[in-house]
Amino acid sequence: MALAGDHAHTNGESWRAIAGNIYALGLATFSLVLLYFFPPHFDLRIGTVVSVAIVAIFLVLMERPVKTPATIMAPLTAILSAAGVVFGAWTIALAIVAWLTVRFRAVISEGGRPVDIFSMITLGQVATATIASYAVLGAWNLVSRLLAVTPHALNNLVALVGIIAVGLTWQTANNLVTYVYHRLRGRRIGVAQMLRTGVVAAIYAYLLVATYKFGGLLATTIFYIVVAQIKVVQDILGVTTQLHKLEKANDQARGLVRDLVRFTDTESVEFASEVQNISQMLGRRLGMQKRELELLGLAAELHEMGKSHLPARIRAGTVLNAKELAQKKTYTRWGGLMVRAADALLPNQIADWIEFHGEHFDGTGYPRGLKGEDIPVASRIIAVARDYVRFLTGYDGASVVDKEKALTLLRESSGTLYDPRLVNLLTELVA
């Protein structure tokens, strides 16, 4: 995130972030232990070094972050598994180069700076690449010993099975490390799909090795570009996942539309649009990057979606008793739940932003009583923008006032209901 204060999510998320960082440090420590006790022995012959350099340059030029796991993991698993067979310990360096390239491009595509690559995520990925590479080298060492005692007539068959096993070893090691990390961060990961990807990628690795043995590096490069980069293999690998996602998205879309249509009217749409506009103005002034502003705008636009779960009388009522008022306040929680339930349609990141825009800066808000910097900055922005627009328009039972009076009302609750920094910033923006 662009803002120093935006690392603060919920108290529940804080321990996950800490656990993720500790896990990344643990992986890094383990990878250093491997390097110390099992130092890699590099083939320094000029032909090998030149070939490895060409592959490294190829990875830097070709590898990019993508949204479908199969389209990155299949070719990369194949290349690095094949490298373990052909180049030995150089696989470690090639794996690190590949993951650093993917991570660098991901950071830049999200509006970050090159220096942002130096993070715990990057450390964990480099450690994962190292650990998976050692797993590949260990697996190929076992296969090589088996080949040494295998009758000549069976060598090709054993090599085929062995190289496929090496590819599966890389994928399995990567899957296990990644799965634990995502579970610590409270995210789901499709292990079954990654395993299926590993099987095909392992076969793909055998084809790369065979091509290299037959025609050298040039033939292997041509094979990779023709087969991999026109995405024939990737599309085949990803089709099952994409169909599943499409079916899931269709179901979620129907449910979401049913929920939204129950409360959407002209007044609500116009109000949400104004809150979105003010929120993005504040986010832009705070220095948010393009992607963050897009997500903030989406959260602001949908911040009232949870009202679809309230009875119409409570939704539209301005004079409510204590019980009804408490029920009305649950809309923020419903909104967060709806986003999480529609994860094939909406970015999960905005769920907390929507859920916590009813929190107060002094900790007296709802639904969890978060305080100060513990409230996501996007939620604090939406809270200020929402009430400013509500005061100007008379939305949701507020008395209509002019701009100066609206700002005065915000300042009176600065530090209690609202983040003082954001109130001051809004005053500067509209003055």
* Residue 3, pLDDT above cutoff 80: no
* Residue 107, pLDDT above cutoff 60: yes
Q: For the stretch 309-322, what's the b/e string if a residue is b when 16 or more beta carbons lie within 10 angstroms of its beta carbon?
A: bbeeebbebeeeee
Q: Which residues, in sequence order, are bridge partners of residue 414?
A: 418
Say what the pLDDT of residue 239 is.
45
- Whether the model pTM is above 0.75: no
Between CA 77 and CA 187 the distance in angstroms is 23
Which is more confidently placed, 319 or 18?
Answer: 18
Say what the pLDDT of residue 29 is.
95
DSSP codes of every residue in 75-112:
HHHHHHHHHHHHTTTHHHHHHHHHHHHHHHHHHHHTT-
Q: Structure tokens of 258? A: 């049913």
| pLDDT tens digits, 355-408 | 999 999 999 998 989 999 899 999 999 999 999 999 999 888 888 999 999 999
> If pLDDT is split at 50, 70 and 90, which confidence band does 8 have?
very low
> Domains (ranges, CATH) in the chain?
4-243 (no CATH), 262-430 (1.10.3210.10)
Between CA 120 and CA 369 the distance in angstroms is 30
